Structures are given as structure tokens and as C-alpha cells.
A and B are shown apart, each in its own frame.
Chain A
């Protein structure tokens, strides 16, 4: 079983990203749970979403305390939220950032593997969301495929096509671009 925690801000599509990822897992015949932090969401406030993946039915119905991997959709969260809280030793941290993984490694320490992708730049290039608040979730999904190896691009593209209401092509392009531009994933 693989447990993933996504950190973002209300309005960035964090919960939608978890849902699209889960959709891809289901299309691939896997078992999955995707859920938000149980509570109330506010625009701009930190948001957490969870995805639990397995190749057999999932009985565990409690929250996720010790995720295998972390995905950070908004780099400004790193100042206020301890995103690696509970992260398992050797876990991966995928951050939306223009920085190189080596520049961030120090912040997270040696026990985690850091990867970055400039999802904000990709979202701006594909005109997803507005200039001041780009929607990075589909770009992040492309990076997740490369970084976490839980599904493949064909399925994630199919899931994006079903899961986003507008600019389907641009969203797919964003995912593809993020897939190829992930840093630290090799």
C-alpha cells in the first residue's frame, strides 16, 4: 500500500488533483481511496488531500499519519507548514518549485528524496488559472507519474480528460511537460 499526502492552498485544485490521480488508479484496475482533510475549506488557506493506493481492496478507513510520499503544490507553504510531518524514512518529497532538488535537500534533510518541477511556470505557459493564481494541479499530476511511479501517463491523461471541465488540451499538455521536466526523478 502506498499513501500520499498532497499539500496546497484552497482554490489551487489540490483535492481535484487527488481525485484525478485516484481516477487513473481505478482505470488501471487498482484500488484507491482519495479524501480531503475532513473539514471546511477556505480559499487561500492551507489544504491537505490524501490518496491511498493498493492492488487489493483497502480496508483501512482511518486517516493517513505516516505517508510514503509528499506532494507540495505551493512552495510558499514550506515556510508555514511542516510538510514532511510523519513522512516515512526514504519517502519522496515532490515540490512545485523552480529550484533544483539539491538546493532544497538541505531543508528536508538526508532521509527524504527531494524532486522538483516548475509547475507554476508550466501552468502560466499553458494559461491555466490566472497570472496571479495559476492552477498547477494537472502539471503536478504529470510530475507525480514520473516521480512516484504509481500509474502511467496514458491513464493520467484519460483521467485529466474526464476530470477537468475546461481547457482539456492545455491541461494534458501541462501534465506531459511536467512529466518530462521533473528534476531529481532519475
Chain B
């Protein structure tokens, strides 16, 4: 059924359709409606789940870890400072190989105190071992929660679904809400072999000597690497049932393109307008959207950029003293392929500063006018 949903409610509907069994979350702007709606759904008896009220995000993740260890399907949602408070337990969830799904509403990090969007909250969780998706509209928000569980439970890794604050979280869009029967067919009940079970007692996460620790890390990394294939396979299954196509990357007008805008999140959608306008004028340009940040699709990005004249990476995030974070990773992915195309790195829209088609035109103009970038960051829209 086609319904009008704000991004936050698309998350709640996705979690409900996934028949999550334990929800532990702490409200934070701009994620609040996710928790509000889920608490109502549970209170109304429309979802057979335990809603655990917690006193912090650290406790929310701790509760999800406990629940997931017993084999329950666990869900939480957070944003910015809340995600940062979870940091320690994000490692615990991932190394514990627990298929928790979490929605994170991308909000810039304080100080100065802010509630508006950028990606620094989730990108600074890069090395916690979670799978990370960055989505671009509310349909994708809902779908990726459902997809996320299927994937998480196949590869035994937690999944973080990241969406832009306000631009998606508080914006109403038409969303195709799938039937429960179809979701049930796609996502059967979770019954893991490894779980906390009184009939088969085990200790979880106990002291692990240096003699055995490293192999767990190796396996965790291998699972991440393999999940690239599993993402493709799971997206295929999803498309068969629901008719919507997703993948590690998303290409827009890339076939014969010479220039490429490399984007993530909602900027990717606004970029389409710019690309359509430039195509009218005969500029051969396309968009490569990075949908999956971890596992990082370096090979796939290199393949997509092979033979192109220039690429413009647009980051709504920053690694201080380095560059935009997607830019840095993409640059690294090209090195051993012997690729040397001019790769420009733009930082834009931090703290929710609006990104308009005019700004994106400026980015392309800059890239067209310069042979090669001379700086690691080309700042867009800074009042210098």
C-alpha cells in the first residue's frame, strides 16, 4: 500500500514489519518519532515485542546485545551524541557477531550544539565492525531495515542504517509499504545456532588470550568481506519479492559518462537534477552513489570509475586534518589499481547547511575548470 510516511516513521514501520522482538531505545532529536511510534505499536498490542525503557543509549545497546545473544531479533535507533555514547558497545555487538539492526539519524556532532544533519556521527563508528548503509529516500529507509535483518542474520553482523536528519527523518514522502505476508516470506523467524540457552550453557565474550584472539578478528573481517556478496544476493531476493532494486552502489546515467559525481545520502538525489541539466547541455556526467560504506566496495568503485576522465567526491563529513572521509577511502581504493584519474574532494553541508542544485553545479564547475586538485579538501560554501 502506498502511504505518506516521514523518514522516522518509515523506520518504525520497517522494524514492525520485520517483527522485531526486543526494542530498547532512548529518544533523541531528530530520531524521537521512531521511538514514539514503536512504543505505541507495542502498547497497542500490534507487535509482539518487549519494549525496554532505558536511561541512556549505552544501556539501549546493552539491552539489544543481551536480547540478541539469546537469539531474539533486536532493534534500536539513535542519533549523534546518542550513537557516540554507544560506541563501546558497538564493538561488543559486532565482535559478538550479533545481528542487531539500528537506525541512525545522521546528525552533526556537538559542540556547538546542533540537531541538523551530517555524517560525522556514524562515520566515526567506522571501525566498530558494523555494516553501514547510507540511504537516500524514505522508501529506501523502510526497505533497508527489512533487508538489514535478512543480511545481518545471514552474516552474523550488526547493521546500521543511516539517514539524513530532517531531510529524510522529518520529511513526509510517499512510501510503498509492503504486505506483512511478503515480508514474512522474505524474512523468516530468526533461530540462530549460536545463542544463550539454559539447556546448553556457555560463556559469551569471556577472557580471550592472545593465543586465540586474532582469529576472531580474522573471522570478523572475513564475514565483512563475504557480506559484499551476501548484500548483492540479498538485494536480489528482495527485488524478486518487492520489485525494488538495491546494491552496494547505485549508478545514475553512468553508462557513457566521462565525469562522475560520487555521493552518498540525499545529496545523491539532488545531484540527479544537476546531472539531468548538464546532460541537456551535452556534458557526459553521471552519479555513483556509495550506499554501503562498510564493507567498503573499493573494488566496485574502482571498476565504476575506470576509464572516466574525472570524479568529484562530495562529502557531508570531515576527518579533521585529512579530508572528506569517503574521498579518503575512495582515493585509497584506486591506488593499487594503478588508477590516476583526477579525483576532487569537496566538503559541503556540514551541520545541516542546505545543499542545493546551485551548490552542486558549483562543484562540477570547479572540477571542470581544474586539471587536478591541489588540496585534500575543496570547501564549499564556507564564508571565507
Asked if A and B touch directly (CB within 8 angstroms), the answer is: yes
Give the distance to chain B from A34, nearest Cβ to Cβ, in Å. Answer: 4
User: Of B11-19, B71-79, B317-325, B350-358, which binds chain A?
Assistant: B350-358
- Knowing A19-B4, A26-B3, A38-B116, the reply to whether A60 touches B357 (Cβ < 8 A) is yes
Q: Closest A residue to B167 by CB, please name it.
A: A61
A35 interface residue, CB < 8 Å from B? Answer: yes
> Beta-carbon contacts of A51-93 to B below 8 Å, as 1s and 0s?
0000000111111010000000000000000000000000000
From A32, A36, A40, B173 is in contact (CB under 8 Å) with A32
From A22, A60, A61, A65, B4 is in contact (CB under 8 Å) with A22
A33 touches B116 (CB 8 A): no
B51 interface residue, CB < 8 Å from A? Answer: no
Q: Closest A residue to B164 by CB, please name it.
A: A61
- Knowing A22-B172, A33-B173, the reply to whether A59 touches B269 (Cβ < 8 A) is yes
Task: Give chain A's interface residue range (CB within 8 Å of chain B).
Answer: 20 to 34
A26 touches B266 (CB 8 A): no
- Knowing A19-B4, A26-B3, A32-B4, the reply to whether A61 touches B172 (Cβ < 8 A) is no
A35: chain B residues within 8 A (beta carbon): 166, 170-172
Q: Closest B residue to A29 by CB, please name it.
A: B2
Q: Closest B residue to A62 by CB, please name it.
A: B356
B110 interface residue, CB < 8 Å from A? Answer: no
A19 touches B266 (CB 8 A): no
- Knowing A26-B3, A38-B352, A60-B357, the reply to whether A33 touches B272 (Cβ < 8 A) is no
A30 to B3, CA, bound (A): 11
- Knowing A26-B3, A31-B174, the reply to whether A38 touches B166 (Cβ < 8 A) is yes
A63: chain B residues within 8 A (beta carbon): 354, 356
B171 touches A59 (CB 8 A): no
Give the distance to chain A from B69, nearest Cβ to Cβ, in Å. Answer: 38
Give the distance to chain A from B114, nearest Cβ to Cβ, in Å. Answer: 11
Within B9-57, which residues are at the interface with A (CB < 8 Å)? none
B267 interface residue, CB < 8 Å from A? Answer: yes
B80 interface residue, CB < 8 Å from A? Answer: no
A23 to B4, CA, bound (A): 6
B170 touches A38 (CB 8 A): yes
A58: chain B residues within 8 A (beta carbon): 173
- Knowing A26-B4, A59-B272, A61-B267, the reply to whether A19 touches B172 (Cβ < 8 A) is yes
B368 interface residue, CB < 8 Å from A? Answer: no
From B4, B170, B272, B356, A36 is in contact (CB under 8 Å) with B170
A65: chain B residues within 8 A (beta carbon): 356
A34 to B170, CA, bound (A): 9
- Knowing A31-B174, A32-B173, A35-B172, the reply to whether A62 touches B4 (Cβ < 8 A) is no
Residues of A within 8 A of B (CB): 18-19, 22-23, 26, 30-36, 38-40, 58-63, 65
Other A-B contacts than A19-B4, A61-B167, A63-B354, 5 sampled, CB-CB below 8 A, are A32-B4, A36-B170, A38-B167, A58-B173, A61-B269
* 10 shortest interchain CB distances as A-B pairs: A38-B166, A35-B171, A34-B172, A61-B266, A62-B356, A59-B272, A59-B269, A26-B174, A26-B4, A23-B4
**18 pairs of residues in contact across A and B, judged by CB atoms under 8 Å:** A19-B172, A23-B4, A26-B3, A32-B4, A34-B4, A35-B166, A38-B165, A38-B170, A38-B352, A59-B269, A60-B269, A61-B266, A61-B269, A61-B270, A62-B354, A62-B356, A63-B356, A65-B356
